[in-house]
Amino acid sequence: MGGRIWVDSMFGKGSTFGFTARFGVAPQVPTETDIHTAQSFTGRQVLVVDDNPAMLAFIRAELERIDLHVDCYQSPDQILEQAKRRIGKHYDLLIIDALMPAMGGMELLEQLSTDDTFTNTPAVLMTSYDDTSANKLLEQQKLHALMIKPIKQSMLLQVVSNCLQGKKSSPKSVEDNGEQMVVKYSRLLGGTNWLLAEDNEINQMLAKELLE
């Protein structure tokens, strides 16, 4: 890292360790102003659809912390049934996982787009990799943002704030070096088998989601 490390030690008094290093410029993250702006959206309605309960719990906790109302569903069928029966309520933002067992996020968004309740609702797609199809939807203005997992608090707040202000976010505007490393190593490690030892069920689900 272009630096050095050293220690000054004196018997009976102790040791002092020191180092120097060169670091790159940190990627842009939400400022205090961005977070305060997000807090101004008190009471807005957000719909989150993801088959992973750990991800739902994380997003709900972060968004409720800034006083947003959050409805979470693990199955796209639940939302479509509500829309079919005309009992679905208006949402200010949709956050949907791209990869779900029964129906993918893009297919769900396509079906919801035919319903007046969801026609003009900003939509965010969550994906575990740099999805070409999702990027095309973003370019065609059919998505407001694309979030590449693992999703950090800063990324989530930035995207939600942008969407509720009517701003669109490109993947590059919300990615940081961590997400770029995930894309890089997913190509290198794809297909390998991993053993995870963890006694906490939530941590197991989260780790499984991140590694897969």
pLDDT digits (tens, 9 = 90+) for 27-40: 665 554 455 454 57
pLDDT of res. 135: 61
Buried b (16+ CB within 10 A) or exposed e, 144-157: bbbbbbbbbebbbb
The per-residue pLDDT for range 95-131, each reduced to its tens digit, is: 999 888 888 888 898 888 888 778 788 899 888 765 5
Q: What is the pTM of this model?
A: 0.62
Percent of the chain with pLDDT over 90: 19
pLDDT tens per residue across span 178-204: 455 555 556 566 677 888 888 877 677
User: Please, is 108 exposed, middle or buried when counting C-beta atoms within 10 Å of its C-beta (0-12, 13-18, 19+)?
Assistant: buried
Instruction: Output 14 or 28, whichever has higher pLDDT.
Output: 14
Average pLDDT, the chain: 77
